[in-house]
Amino acid sequence: MIGNPPYISAPTQLANKFLAEQREKIIKSNNYKSLYQKWDLYIPFIELGLNLNCQNGITTMIVPFPLTNQLYAKILRKMIVKENNMFELVDLNGTKIFDNATVSNCIPFIKKSAPKDKTWISHINENLEIRKSFEQPFSAFVQDEKTQVWNVTQQKREANKYSDFNVLGDFCYVSYGLRPNSDEKTAKGEFKKEDLISNVKDNIPRRKYIEAKDIEKYKINRIRYLEYGTERSPEKFTRATFDELYNHNKIMFNVLGDLTGTFDDKKLIHNHSLIACVLWKSLKGIENKSIASSIKKFSKYSRSKMEKLSETVDLKYLLGIMNSKYASVLLTNLRGGDYHIYPEHIRNIPIPVATPARQQQIIALVDKILAMKKRDSSVDTTVPEEKIDELVYKLYEINNI
């Protein structure tokens, strides 16, 4: 079976009435096991191809390269590897196949038979011919059992190396920020983000507000003001979150590219271009659906256990680790070649529990960097950052990277 299914993202489907209805019908049909979170339309197409094929038949489709690493494809990746024999994967990442396409592609060749223990990784050469490059054992191909991300390189990636460590999500509640545009269902078209943001504080109720473009490592470059506490804000937001997410000290990370984190003790509000991490102990006694859902979906510990764990770490210790060079390696182990950073990635970064004295070494350096950046935003903080890197290497018991 050969195919070139439509590539239509979840947001695009939901924004179109016909596609939104079709998406709902696909979900309600209960014919597809692979639908997960914000699944793209090509996901059920691949599963349908596998289901319709005969025993020992081969299914191959040219699909977006994000099949290999996006969270929405996690269940399908597991089905392909655990329930079928994917004997070859053509890696076309970075190769423009279609003139009007903005996404890279890959081509899985999947035989409906018992799974094997390895697959071929192929590439396209200068003559536009597909040729096998190397054989990859599935022990290396599936680089992380939690996310089922595929490693299509020959680089060694060890996502399960620190399986006995706690993860960041054990210490912090991790969440996107709010989406300050009018809800499509209850307030469609009433306002957009730009209508709510001001560069100066005025007579309208507002809170200090930032986005990912306003931060760098250990630094906040710009603060604006978001209308907040009015009839429409945040009540009519697409995603309102909850006040306590912003009312405590927190660390925040970007959602695209290289991992970048900063510290907030000013109760700043931020949008979904940033991911907030708030210590569980800071949210003690706060009950809502967002917290309950997060614990149910992602936590292996009870809430009370995580609140106690969070008492053993300092936010600035966590920030120092997350802004270190080695944290970028740990992130790559989780997301593969993906450019996006999701809360699930941040949540699953392994964190060593250090003694108060060892934590204080990192905290002191983070305080130094924050103070230097506050005095002079263009200051070079390479020296203290390298010292943090050295301390982090020791915590993870490695020499360097």
Whether residue 94 has pLDDT greater than 80: no
CA distance linking residue 329 with residue 334, whole number of Å:
9
CA angle 315, 319, 320 (to 5 degrees): 120
| 366 lies in the same domain as 235 | yes
| 83 lies in the same domain as 171 | no
| 233 lies in the same domain as 367 | yes
CA distance linking residue 369 with residue 382, whole number of Å:
9
Task: Say what the pTM is.
Answer: 0.81
CA distance linking residue 205 with residue 228, whole number of Å:
6
* pLDDT at position 390: 97
| 182 lies in the same domain as 120 | no
Residue 149 resides in a domain: no
Distances (CA, A) of 387 to 60, 286, 355: 49, 37, 18
Task: Choose one of 141, 176, 191: the last residue of a domain.
Answer: 141
* pLDDT at position 314: 98
Residue 325 resides in a domain: yes
Task: Choose one of 141, 174, 192: the last residue of a domain.
Answer: 141
CA distance linking residue 399 with residue 390, whole number of Å:
8
| 321 lies in the same domain as 228 | yes
Residue 93 resides in a domain: yes
Q: What is the pLDDT of residues 132-187, one digit of tens each?
A: 999 999 999 998 888 899 999 988 877 678 888 999 999 999 999 999 999 988 99
| 45 lies in the same domain as 101 | yes
| Under 8 Å between Cβ of 45 and 53 | no
* pLDDT at position 310: 98
CA angle 150, 156, 159 (to 5 degrees): 60
| 199 lies in the same domain as 338 | yes
| 220 lies in the same domain as 306 | yes
Average pLDDT, the chain: 94
Residue 342 resides in a domain: yes
Task: Choose one of 141, 175, 204: the last residue of a domain.
Answer: 141
| 228 lies in the same domain as 361 | yes
> What's the number of domains the chain is made of?
2
| Under 8 Å between Cβ of 13 and 22 | yes
Q: What is the CATH number of the domain that holds 338?
A: 3.90.220.10
Residue 147 resides in a domain: no
CA distance linking residue 15 with residue 8, whole number of Å:
11
Residues with Cβ within 8 Å of 29's Cβ and at least 6 positions away in sequence, in order, are none
| 114 lies in the same domain as 251 | no
Q: Which amino acid is at 147?
A: T
Residue 161 resides in a domain: no
| Bridge partners (DSSP) listed for residue 110 | 59, 86
* pLDDT at position 334: 84
Q: What is the CATH number of the domain that holds 29?
A: 3.40.50.150
Q: Measured on CA atoms in the order 371, 244, 208, 347, is the torsion positive or negative? A: positive
CA distance linking residue 364 with residue 83, whole number of Å:
51
Q: What is the pLDDT of residues 35-68, one digit of tens each?
A: 999 999 999 999 999 999 999 999 999 999 999 9
| 101 lies in the same domain as 50 | yes
What residues make up the domain containing 120? 2-141
Residue 40 resides in a domain: yes
| 97 lies in the same domain as 14 | yes
Residue 316 resides in a domain: yes
